[in-house]
Amino acid sequence: MFNSTKKMFALASALAILTGLNSCKPKTAGTAVSAGAAEKVYVAPGEYDEYYGFVSGGFSGQLAVYGYPSARLLKVLPVFSVDPEKGYGYSEETIPLLNTSHGFVPWDDLHHLQISQTDGIMDGRWVFANANNTPRVARIDLTTFKTVEIIEIPNSAGNHSSPFITENTEYVVAGTRFSVPDDGVEYPIHTYKENFKGSISFISVDKTTGNMDIAFQLEVPALNFDLSHSGKGPSSGWFFFSTYNTEKAYTQLEVNASQNDKDFIMAVNWKKAEELIKAGKGIKKTVKYAHNKYNEETHTASSEIKTEILTLTPDMLREICYFIPCPKSPHGTDVDPSGEYIVGSGKLAALLPVFAFSKIQKAIDNKDFDGQYDGFNVLKYESVLYGEVEKPGLGPLHTEFDDKGNAYTSFFLSSEIVKWNLKDLKIIDRSPTFYSVGHLTIPGGDTRKPSGKYAVAYNKITKDRYLPTGPELTQSAQLYDISGDKMQLLLDFPTIGEPHYSQIIPAETIMKNSKKIYNLEENKHPYVTKNEGDARVVRDGKIVHVYMAAIRSHLAPDNIEGIHVGDEVYFHFTNREQDWDIPHGFAIKGANTAELLVMPGETQTLKWTPKQAGIWPMYCTDFCSALHQEMSGYIRVSPAGSNTPIRYGLGDTALGPGTK
């Protein structure tokens, strides 16, 4: 089954094609957008886009929000990276969100995301995002567009195969890209085949609150797990993971992990796994991982280190996990809206295999196996295959679906999107991308209810597309109209970071639940200042708490004395506005953190340790009114050990001769 190929002819040919694609500008590159396209993407001032697009920021560790069809950037959401614009990872309230078992980790590599689903349809409640580097999964609340929870994943490395969800968001599922021994266990690297393991984590999601917890892990062979999707309809209760490196190579993977003609898609009956856990079959393992939550009532995050998980070992998984041979180094594993067809995308293959779930079930029932791999049954390729799309392109990566029974696959090496029919597997259309497309997205394209209106390609290389910006060029995306028989390129636009996967959802699904303000009366932050009369400064030894209130256009207090060098000063900044879109910022000269950006009715805290005496201005950083420039004040810092008492004031109580 695993025919070894000594030379990488396919890979070499593909790389040669890629080099050719990127070495010269196609004659059509400058005029690729069709006539009339501008009308289709124009959204007049004051009107709203039809869709929200959530796009992973790759190595930026952030998540971008676009409006479609205009492709206007609406917001950049910090998830795994500190963000000085919003104070995320700098304020005392958000620092705990970036805690891990390794300590404070202020960056990560955000590749994939998924919007929560109900009955296989996006419900717009939460976005889940993965951290590839230090394995984590985050949950973003779509009422506030804020990261509200991050959970670390133990016994994992390279959390690339994540965060894919079940039909009703019962679980977020995460596979490990790099197989490793259990956390904290050391083996020589050359003992990879004997001692390294793969893991699949099932993270439960509370249906009401969204709170996550690691329900159980599957201990599986030491493969590299890539993309994954849940079954639906007839395949409900199953999960499908693409895997590569069946050779179990640990060096020069570009050659040594590409020897076998076929790798695997792993089919997982998660319902059966869940039953074993409920029956008490899971083995407890001692681990260490962080679970971080943001409390919307207190506006503060907390971090808890957990030390135990439940694991199902390989001997328990023989009738839960099955391997399906898939041509060479598959990346995408995509399930069509009906749940019957599973499309594999071998990066080094010259065809697209489409598997039928009904045939998979029949092969399992009939024990139609082609041997075993590490003790797991391998289903016969011919027995589970629905058919193959012949000569579709070079370097297939990812497939999504429309509402007319068609599939759309991105081809990295031949830089194109190919449209084909699921029933007869015939190619319908091709459209070039500029260049080296990775993922593509159709609104609802991996759900039971896709749209047939748009597709967006996320590209890796942008030579000649935009004004040059030094050695690195901007990242790229392209919007296509897919409503007709032929795809039409409408718009070519830059993106943040390196875009990988994306989700697109009708705007109306999210807009109706969007939070406008935090109700000040419901603010339960322990240092909230709801009324200006409660603004004050309190010393407790070398710790000073400043209860600060802000409203257009002043800070209260705006004059503070009695701060000493070396004090730990906590500015608890409450935005007393109750009007939509009136945030206030807060910054202090020389503070080595960042600004705070505080929403109406919210409280956030900036910690400041002054290192020298002097007068230090503080001010609002977010332009909030015509008198924004006047929204400022002064802090007097005296030498350590000085007798200068705490004094503070505003207006009539401003500090002057005789003020106490």
Q: What share of the chain is helix, strand, coil (3-state, %, to 5)?
A: 15, 45, 45
Apex 222 CA angle, 287 and 305, nearest 5: 15
For residues 314 and 197, the answer to whether their CB atoms sit within 8 Å is no
Distances (CA, A) of 156 to 175, 183, 214, 276, 524: 8, 8, 13, 22, 37
CA 601/CA 547 separation, integer angstroms:
14
pLDDT of res. 24: 43
Smallest Cα–Cα separation from 68: which of 409, 581, 478? 478
**% of residues, the chain, pLDDT over 90:** 91
Count of residues making up the chain: 660
Q: How far apart are the first and last CA of the chain?
A: 86
Containing 238, the helix (H) or strand (E) segment is strand 238-244
Q: DSSP label at 73?
A: E
Q: What is the pLDDT of residue 654?
A: 78
Instruction: Give me the phi and psi of 534, to 5 degrees please.
Output: -90, -5
Cβ–Cβ under 8 Å, residues 574 and 549: yes
CA dihedral 513→518→522→526, nearest 10 degrees, is: 130
Task: Indicate the SS3 state at residue 107.
Answer: coil
Give the E-state strand segments of 281-384 in sequence order: 283-295, 300-312, 321-327, 330-335, 341-346, 351-356, 369-373, 376-379
Give the number of C-alpha atoms closer than 13 A to the C-alpha of residue 492, restricted to the C-beta side.
21
- What's the pLDDT score for residue 32? 65
pTM listed for this prediction: 0.94
Domains of the chain: 58-512 (2.130.10.10), 529-655 (2.60.40.420)
pLDDT tens-digit map of 273-301:
999 999 999 999 999 999 999 999 999 99
Peptide bond between residue 163 and the one before it cis (omega within 30 degrees of 0): yes
Closest listed residue to residue 439, CA positions, set 423, 420, 459: 459
Instruction: Give CA–CA dist 240/75, Å, rounded.
Output: 32
Cβ-in-10-Å burial (0-12, 13-18, 19+) of 39 comes to exposed
Q: Quick one: tokens of 407?
A: 């599939």
List of the chain residues with pLDDT < 50:
1-29, 658, 660
Which of 153, 200, 199 shows the shortest CA–CA distance to 173?
Answer: 200
Per-residue pLDDT at 184? 85
pLDDT for residue 10: 40
CA–CA separation, 384 and 340 (whole Å): 11
Query: Given CA atoms 101, 107, 111, 113 in this order, what sign does their dihedral have?
Result: positive
Strand partners, 429: 419
pLDDT in tens, 81-117: 999 999 999 999 999 999 999 999 999 999 999 999 9
CB 80 within 8 A of CB 104: no
Alpha helices per DSSP H over 119-220: 192-195
